[in-house]
């Protein structure tokens, strides 16, 4: 019996992993181009974030706002989308930290711009203290949280990044806020939240401590009494609104905002 093998396969068409091809043949700009959103108002903003071009970010935002886009919604719909491209290419080893820093600065400039455009909210609903965990310099998420809280009408005391635990406690004592927020992007810094919690408990403060940031998750935040986890920056304002309407009971807040 004659055996025939199918050997008419072109070997150059197999064994090409997409990401290997991408690393070898694509420039970072090409790779980013594939990831930008196609919307003609959002595309230039995302691209300007990737390129770290602050003036182009502002110009793109201006165009989008004058075409009727809501300034605050552009944080999530354009600035975050651009930063998402940067984060993905950084994770894939296609771009490096200096690029990320330039993009982060351009994003912060963009956030400042849309905040100015949105104007001040007419009534102050309450005071919230925001901070980034001790030892942690990643403040982009915290800046979005603070911007959205302000846009929602809260008076925000922004302590910035790498904030010592004792400074957080002293500020809560001085400002008497309705809520504290914490952001941690590193698995080494997130433990500061537990220290903040324990010191607040020791001093008799029972304010909700909303926590988020890439390093933390619901399981971790549930380990300390005052912790309420939020995945998205917009959750901070939702948690504050819920406290205003229903009180500051942490159990109730977890029932409402944690996944069950
Ligand atoms: C940008 C960036 C930087 C920038 C930070 C610029 C800045 N001003 O923030 C720079 C270049 C300075 C930097 C430095 C470092 N970085 Co860095 N960095 C990143 C990167 C690429 C993106 C982080 C980011 O901004 N994400 C976007 C923001 C918007 O996300 P976010 O903060 O999580 O916020 C969102 C939500 O979590 C939520 N949220 C945030 N806070 C809160 C709070 C509340 C209450 C709620 C409800 C929601 C909420 O809202 C936001 C959106 O909706 C990540 C990689 C990654 N994939 O995440 C690494 C990363 C975080 N960095 C990392 C490291 C290791 C470092 C360095 C130590 C590097 C080095 N060797 O020097 C230093 C840190 C120095 C220090 N002591 O902090 C690691 C951390 C690893 C770990 N698990 O511990 C990461 C994960 C990279 C990696 N894969 O290794 N970094």
Q: How far is the CA of 185 from the centre of ligand 1 (A)?
A: 5
- The pLDDT score that the predictor gives to residue 115 is 84
180 lines ligand 1 (CB under 6 A): no
Q: How far is the CA of 138 from the centre of ligand 1 (A)?
A: 5
- The pLDDT score that the predictor gives to residue 25 is 67
138 lines ligand 1 (CB under 6 A): yes
Domains of the chain, CATH where assigned: 23-118 (1.10.1240.10), 126-257 (3.40.50.280)
185 lines ligand 1 (CB under 6 A): yes
- The pLDDT score that the predictor gives to residue 1 is 46
DSSP tag of 260: -
Tell me how many degrees the CA angle 176-225-260 measures, rounded to the nearest 5: 120
d(CA 24, CA 192): 41
- The pLDDT score that the predictor gives to residue 232 is 86
Q: How far is the CA of 130 from the centre of ligand 1 (A)?
A: 16
Q: Which of 241, 230, 223, 234 minimizes the C-alpha distance to 183?
A: 230
In the chain the first and final C-alpha atoms are separated, in Å, by 64
Residue in the structure block whose two tokens are 């302590």: 159
pLDDT in tens, the chain (260 residues): 454 554 565 655 555 455 554 555 689 999 999 999 999 999 999 999 999 999 999 999 999 999 999 998 898 899 989 988 988 898 788 988 788 878 888 988 998 899 888 875 546 889 999 999 999 999 988 988 887 787 677 899 999 999 999 999 999 999 999 999 999 999 999 999 999 999 999 999 999 999 999 999 999 999 999 999 999 887 998 999 999 999 999 999 999 999 99
Q: How far is the CA of 28 from the centre of ligand 1 (A)?
A: 21
Task: Give the residue whose CA is nearest to atom 87 of ligand 1.
Answer: 91
- The pLDDT score that the predictor gives to residue 258 is 97
Q: Which of 101, 55, 60, 102 minimizes the C-alpha distance to 79?
A: 60
């Amino acid at each position: 019996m004659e055996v025939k093998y199918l050997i008419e396969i072109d070997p150059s068409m197999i064994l090409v992993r997409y990401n290997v091809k991408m690393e070898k043949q694509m420039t970072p700009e090409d790779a980013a181009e594939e990831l930008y959103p196609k919307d003609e108002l959002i595309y230039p903003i995302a691209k300007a974030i990737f390129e770290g071009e602050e003036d182009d970010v502002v110009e793109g935002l201006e165009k989008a706002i004058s075409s009727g886009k809501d300034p605050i919604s552009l944080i999530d719909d354009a600035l975050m989308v651009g930063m998402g491209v940067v984060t993905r290419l950084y994770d894939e080893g296609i771009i490096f930290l200096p690029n990320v820093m330039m993009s982060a600065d351009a994003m912060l400039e963009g956030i400042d711009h849309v905040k100015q455009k949105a104007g001040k909210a007419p009534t102050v609903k309450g005071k919230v203290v925001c901070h980034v965990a001790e030892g942690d310099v990643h403040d982009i998420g915290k800046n979005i949280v603070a911007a959205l809280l302000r846009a929602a009408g809260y008076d925000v005391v922004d302590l910035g990044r790498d904030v010592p635990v004792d400074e957080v406690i002293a500020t809560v004592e001085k400002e008497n806020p309705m809520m504290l927020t914490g952001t941690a992007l590193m698995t080494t810094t997130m433990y500061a939240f537990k220290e903040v919690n324990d010191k607040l408990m020791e001093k008799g403060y029972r304010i909700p401590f909303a926590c988020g940031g890439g390093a933390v998750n619901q399981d971790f935040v549930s380990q300390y009494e005052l912790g309420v986890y939020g995945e998205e920056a917009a959750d901070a304002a939702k948690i504050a609104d819920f406290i205003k309407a229903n009180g500051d009971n942490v159990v109730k807040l977890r029932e409402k905002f944690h996944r069950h």
